Amino acid sequence: MNIIQSDQQYKDIISYEDHYILYFSDGTCNVGNAVEPQVYEMVRISFPKLKTYTVLTSLTPEIGAQLSVFAIPTVLVYFDKKLSVQKSRVFSISELENEISRYYRLVFDD
């Protein structure tokens, strides 16, 4: 699990990474804590070329505010530095996987 520790670390990530996932949680939400390992496992198996980062809103609230994330859990998926998929609060892992898959195939068509 890659936890973003500071606003500067977040700025470095968005400067250097083209394709990545931001998972927003506060660390105390039971739903968020249950969904997070499922998201990481899905990415590890189905989308190995995507880097995944966790943003703890309790640690770095300014990142969530910059991106207008006001509900947790929230997943933001970026391809070519553009927000491509956004899911908040209630979503299924299979639904998220299907939406990411469309973009992933376009970008990483082997």
**Which residue ranges form the domains of the chain, and what is each CATH number?**
7-107 (3.40.30.10)
Query: How does pLDDT run across 4-43, given as a tens digit for each residue?
Result: 999 999 999 999 999 999 999 988 888 888 899 999 999 9
Structure tokens that stand for 76 in this block:
């933001």
Categorize the per-residue pLDDT at 100 as very low, low, confident or very high, splitting at 50, 70 and 90. Answer: very high
- Check pLDDT > 70 for residue 110: no
Q: How far is CA 95 from CA 8, 52, 87, 90, 91, in A?
A: 32, 18, 9, 11, 7
pTM equals 0.94
**Those residues with Cβ within 8 angstroms of residue 19's Cβ, 6 or more apart along the chain or in another chain:** 49, 50, 51, 78, 79, 80, 107
Scanning the structure block, which residue is given the tokens 């927003």? 24
Structure tokens that stand for 58 in this block:
């309790």
HSE, side-chain direction, 13 A CA sphere, residue 49: 15
